Amino acid sequence: MSPKTISHLAGILGRLIWPFAIILPIVALILIGLTDEFELEVFGTNQIIVEKGQMTPGIRALLFAFAVGYFVLFCYGLFAIQKTLSEASMGQWLSAKSVVGFKQFAVATLAIVLYEAIVGPIAFALMRMQLTTGQFSFEIGVTTDFVSSLFTALVMLVAAQIFSVGQAAYEENKSFI
């Protein structure tokens, strides 16, 4: 794609971030508040099914807390990449603001992967305790979903550092001209 096409696409995506960052968490939290049954899975290792009549205030509170933590990281990442997209829409590919935004997005992406891998099993174990009184089961495992998500997040973090070094070199070269 041409730089002009990429700038235009970056501008469109950048304008879509605010609606997504507002609508997605609100819809998810409303669904948690209104639903009586659900099926939830994290990385294929933990699955929980709450059938009609099993939804307790404790389960609803756990779902709400997990969702809030997730969406804080999610929105942070969206607003970070919005900086990068905004700069790209103006043709400022290696501006400091663009590179910092991408680095923050990469960190948020890694944080989401780790949040799901660490907090997810704890939340699931606590929900199972609500469903089966007196029983505690904690499951943790490594799946291809987790490995691919972790790999992608780490590659993004490395790419962000490469862009940071490139941005510093660009600024240094610009000062000589």
Residue 157 lies in domain: 3-176
For residue 91, report the phi and psi dihedrals to the nearest 5 degrees. Answer: 80, 15
CA neighbor of 166 nearest in space, from 103, 78, 91:
103
Per-residue pLDDT of the chain (177 residues), as tens digits, is: 888 999 999 999 999 999 999 999 999 889 888 888 878 776 666 677 788 888 888 888 888 898 899 999 999 999 999 999 999 999 988 899 999 999 999 999 999 999 988 888 888 888 878 777 766 666 666 778 889 999 999 999 999 999 989 888 877 787 776
Over the stretch 15-66, which tens digit does the pLDDT of each residue have?
Answer: 999 999 999 999 988 988 888 887 877 666 667 778 888 888 888 888 889 8
Helix (H) / strand (E) element for 171: namely: helix 144-176
Rounded-to-10 torsion of CA 85, 86, 89, 91: -100
Structural domain tally of the chain?
A: 1
Q: Please state, in angstroms and rounded to a whole number, the distance separating the CA atoms of residues 110 and 153.
A: 5
Three-state SS at 91: coil
Return all residues near 18 (Cβ < 8 A) that are at least 6 apart: 82
pTM value is: 0.84
Task: Specify which residues 50 forms β-bridges with.
Answer: 38
